Chain A
Amino acid sequence: MSSVTTPPLSRRAGEGKDPAGSAPGGASPEEEAALQAAFDAAVAAEERIEPRDWMPDAYRATLVRQIAQHAHSEIIGMQPEANWITRAPSLRRKAILMAKVQDEAGHGLYLYGAAETLGTGREQLLDKLHTGRQKYSSIFNYPTLTWADVGAIGWLVDGAAITNQVPLCRCSYGPYARAMVRVCKEESFHQRQGYELLLALSRGTEAQHAMAQDAVDRWWWPSLMMFGPPDEESAHSARSMEWKIKRHSNDELRQRFVDICVPQAEALDLTLPDPDLRWNEQREHWDFGTIDWQEFRDVLAGNGPCNEQRLHQRRAAHEDGAWVREAAAAHAAKQAARATPPDPAPGAADTKTPPLPAEQAPQSRPPEHAPQPRADESAQRGVEHSS
């Protein structure tokens, strides 16, 4: 029996590919073919691929690109909504919005964690975001001009995201699928709060109703673009479907979303800004107008209303925070140096206690300072969110 001591669950930042991944050094073409066959069989059998399994380089690269883009979208997506936290018009809405923006940071973290299992550290991924070498969802390059935009983002943008994401819970790559299960579970309140927000506006004063309509007018088409280019132009779709990273085509998901939204808009007493929207008896789907793909390409290319602003804020937060990250790392290094001779291995001193390194660190705090689970309060929050 032998074992390896490389970190198996997530890799350290900057560490290269795992030697167990790809073909082990000098694998013969026959061995490579056998690995490929085993991988194909696992995917076909709906088994999950796990970080230390062999996988084709292109599969790994596709996943890193997609998961990173997804993570970047979560954290850039905080900005348009955070824009309204300080102006939320009621305390209830303020709490909901703060919790939602916080979730987006959390989802970014889950996803960066999933990407790190593929051997690319978060710092590297952030660097690619900050230098424009990796994208985030173009939808966040539109501005939130009024309070109603917060509702439109929840209903339409999160709605589109959920339509995209639910199938990802069954993605062939285990860590991504698991992260998405967590994300989807938490996101169930996001769309609903947006819808409820718009409903309150729509049923409110004339000015509020107009505010809601204006927001839906501006966010509808960009939301449809979130599903990506039409199937015949989608560069990565076919192979991603084969690998079961993706389960449905862009157009399929887009249609599903339109079908869901039309009756929801009616219930809101708001109109969707598409004169060509009509029920098609034969297809049993809603027909809709032509998407302005030129706008999509322009925004993607960096010419959206907020591309510059979003990246600037992200970079500034990262750069302004550098001294904080450095300080904490420096403190940890000093603490480690002070703690000589080293402590016994965690758990070695007292086998009755679970191996909790923090509780045995020299600077450990008395137990009353240890984080307490706070079931009552979090439970209360949960109720609030789902209302």
Chain B
Amino acid sequence: MSADWPLWEVFVRSRRGLSHTHAGSLHAPDAQMALRNARDLFTRRSEGVSLWVVPSVEITASSPDEKDPFFAPAADKPYRHPTFYEVPEGVRNL
């Protein structure tokens, strides 16, 4: 019987209104213990109000090899960003 516990990624919502952010990883035998271990490890100093734990193997990631094709299309669409547009000086609240 292997005693190696799987690895979990931990995401912490530091306060209401913010998204969960990746905080680190830990080992746990199952999801319930992973949550508890995460609570003990990553919120000892009240760093969080909510936690997610995700088995590391379940995460699907983009590959850096495909960095260019994967993210390049976004780079040539500056019109998605507000700074693309010219606003005459003195015009406010825009």
Contact = CB atoms under 8 A, between A and B. Distances in A.
- A contacts B: CB pair < 8 Å: yes
Interface in B1-54: 1-7, 9, 22, 24-27, 29-36, 39, 41, 43-46, 48-54
A20 B66 CA distance: 10
Most buried by A among B2, B36, B48: B2
A48 interface: no
Given A53-B64, A363-B32, A116 B46 contact: no
Nearest to B28: A328
A301 interface: no
Contact of A13 (B7, B45, B46): B7
A14 B31 CA distance: 21
Nearest to A323: B3
A122 interface: yes
Contacts of B41: 106, 109
B1 A326 contact: yes
A371 interface: yes
B19 to A, nearest CB: 10
B65 A10 contact: no
B83 interface: no
A2 B63 contact: yes
A11 B52 contact: no
Contacts of A236: none
B60 interface: yes
A8 B59 contact: yes
A3 B66 CA distance: 9
* Contact-residue size bin, chain B (C-beta under 8 Å from the other chain): 35 or more
Contact of A332 (B29, B61, B65, B66): B29
Interface string B51-92: 111111111111111100110000000000000000000000
Nearest to A322: B3
Contact of B4 (A11, A109, A123): A123
A92 interface: no
B5 A2 contact: no
Contact of B43 (A356, A363, A378): A378
A86 to B, nearest CB: 22
A52 B1 contact: no
A361 B36 CA distance: 14
A161 to B, nearest CB: 19
Nearest to A321: B3
Interface string A314-333: 00000000100110111110
Contacts of B57: 7, 12
A198 B55 CA distance: 45
Contacts of B32: 358, 361, 363-365
A358 to B, nearest CB: 4
Given A20-B63, A329-B29, A358-B35, A1 B7 contact: no
A168 interface: no
A329 B27 CA distance: 11
B61 A357 contact: no
Contacts of B66: 2
Contact of A357 (B7, B54, B62): B54
Contacts of B65: 20, 24
Contact of A7 (B45, B56, B63): B56
A194 to B, nearest CB: 19
Q: Which 3 interchain pairs have the tightest Cβ spacing? A: A8-B61, A328-B29, A325-B3
Given A9-B56, A12-B6, A365-B32, 11 more contacts: A1-B70, A2-B63, A3-B61, A13-B7, A109-B41, A116-B25, A326-B3, A329-B1, A330-B1, A357-B54, A373-B43
